[in-house]
């Protein structure tokens, strides 16, 4: 005996079988199960099946086009204004390290989150504290990122020297390593953050504030003008120059050796002579980068903040480098910074 469903109930079954997930973030397994359900759905008609698949494709496309969380710079409208180099960064500053001449400037006083560029101040404070680099530090539960949920290759219980922690924090932007450096500071994490802010004040970084040593918090904020002062101060420290421009390192984690690499591909480029650098990213800050480099026969400091796109800060740096090699870069400086 053939069982025939009423038309209304049959339509409901078909709709349920081809309906896409309600949430925007579709897990791969759920997507796969949905494809199986679509394959096994009753073939009402070729036209209806094709129409259903078209609806599904449009739903998937809508999910793919869902915009990421806006950065502080986007919220402030800093991307609305263009610049001569068509940079993707909403904030940019290029100055001559020796003369303080400003060669390029775009929203240099805007105060924004600076993400892992924070670690450059972390390294500067540690280097000036004269704590032994050979002391063993241990990663603890306190070093786990509970704000952004970022991952780390340094498991709780990992022991590395202070020097190795600094290396991984500055080269590979290891958050747990940076946090451990702050915890082991005399007086603990609170005293370390206070030391970071005192150093910023001493350098004349009037628009800068730190609340923790990793940069995971969007409350760590600064301006391009302030960060140029930080880069200049950090570049005077040979250890910071060495660690930030290192391409890779091996460290013993437990019973095995682990390889870590730089977060900045420009360090490996033969077209760049980089003396110090640091990258950073959180959604609120966008892609960020500071660089000290020898370009066009000058020692320059470059600050790029709130860049959109995974590789856009590198693209912006390349645009600036090429521009510096043209006659346009020979024009008189915009002004001086104190």
Domain CATH code at residue 146: 3.40.710.10
Measured distance CA(276)–CA(142) in Å, rounded: 29
Residue 173 annotated in active site: yes
**Lowest-pLDDT range of 34-38, 151-155, 236-240, 311-315:** 34-38
The answer to whether residues 170 and 200 touch, using CB atoms and an 8 Å cutoff, is no
Task: Please say if 150 is a catalytic residue.
Answer: no
Residue at 219 is within a domain: yes
Looking at residue 69, its pLDDT comes to 84
Both tokens of 19, joined, read 């309906």
- Same domain flag for 59 and 182: no
The pLDDT, as a whole number, for residue 19 is 42
CA distance 96 to 98: 6
The structure's pTM equals 0.78
**What's the CA dihedral at 269, 308, 92, 324 to 10 degrees?**
40
Range 111-139 average pLDDT: 98
108 plus 247 within the same structural domain: yes
Q: pLDDT > 90: what percent of the chain?
A: 71
User: Would you call 312 a catalytic residue per the annotation?
Assistant: no
The answer to whether 41 and 48 have CB atoms below 8 angstroms apart is no
Q: Which of 58-67, 73-82, 150-159 has the lowest mean pLDDT?
A: 58-67
- What domain range is 163 assigned to? 72-330
Tell whether 146 and 13 lie within a shared domain.
no
Q: Does one domain contain both 60 and 93?
A: no
pLDDT per position as a tens digit, 1-18: 444 444 444 443 444 343
129 pLDDT exceeds 80?
yes
Same domain? For 174 and 290 the reply is yes
Residue 175 inside a domain? The answer is: yes
Q: What is the pLDDT of residue 333?
A: 52
292, 199: one domain: yes
Q: What pLDDT is recorded for position 309?
A: 87
pLDDT at 51 over 70: no
Note whether 222 and 249 are same-domain residues: yes
Which member of 119, 199, 232, 278 is catalytic?
A: 119
Catalytic residue among 90, 105, 116, 172: 116
The percentage of residues in the chain with a pLDDT greater than 70, rounded to a whole number, is 76
On the CB side of 124, CA atoms within 13 Å amount to 26
pLDDT range class, residue 60, cuts 50, 70, 90:
very low
Beta carbons of 71 and 280 less than 8 angstroms apart: no
Domain count along the chain: 2
């Amino acid at each position: 005996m053939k069982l025939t469903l009423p038309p209304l109930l049959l339509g409901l079954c078909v709709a349920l079988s081809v309906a896409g997930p309600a949430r925007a973030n579709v897990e791969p397994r759920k997507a796969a199960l949905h494809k199986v359900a679509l394959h096994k759905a009753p073939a009402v008609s070729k036209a209806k099946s094709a129409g259903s698949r078209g609806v599904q494709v449009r739903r998937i496309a809508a999910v793919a086009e869902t915009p990421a969380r806006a950065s502080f710079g986007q919220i402030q409208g800093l991307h609305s204004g263009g610049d001569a180099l068509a940079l993707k960064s909403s904030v940019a500053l290029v100055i001559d390290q020796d003369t303080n001449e400003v060669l390029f400037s775009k929203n240099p006083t805007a105060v924004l989150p600076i993400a892992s560029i924070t670690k450059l101040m972390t390294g500067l404070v540690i280097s000036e504290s004269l704590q032994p680099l050979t002391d063993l530090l241990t990663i603890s539960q306190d070093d786990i990122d509970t704000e952004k949920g970022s991952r780390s290759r340094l498991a709780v219980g990992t022991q590395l020297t202070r020097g190795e922690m600094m290396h991984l924090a500055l080269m590979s932007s290891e958050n747990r390593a940076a946090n451990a450096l702050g915890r082991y500071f005399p007086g603990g994490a609170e005293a370390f953050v206070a030391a970071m802010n005192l150093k910023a004040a001493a350098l004349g970084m009037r628009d800068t504030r730190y609340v923790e040593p990793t940069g995971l918090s969007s409350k760590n904020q600064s301006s391009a003008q302030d960060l140029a002062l930080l880069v200049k101060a950090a570049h005077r420290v040979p250890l910071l120059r060495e660690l930030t421009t290192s391409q890779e390192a091996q460290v013993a984690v437990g019973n095995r050796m682990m390889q870590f690499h730089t977060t900045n591909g420009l360090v490996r480029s033969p077209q760049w002579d980089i003396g110090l650098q640091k990258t950073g990213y959180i959604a609120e800050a966008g892609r960020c980068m500071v660089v000290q480099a020898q370009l066009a026969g000058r020692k320059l400091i470059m600050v790029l903040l709130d860049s959109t796109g995974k590789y856009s800060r590198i693209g912006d740096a390349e645009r600036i480098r090429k521009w510096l090699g043209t006659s346009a870069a020979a024009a008189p400086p915009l002004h001086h910074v104190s």
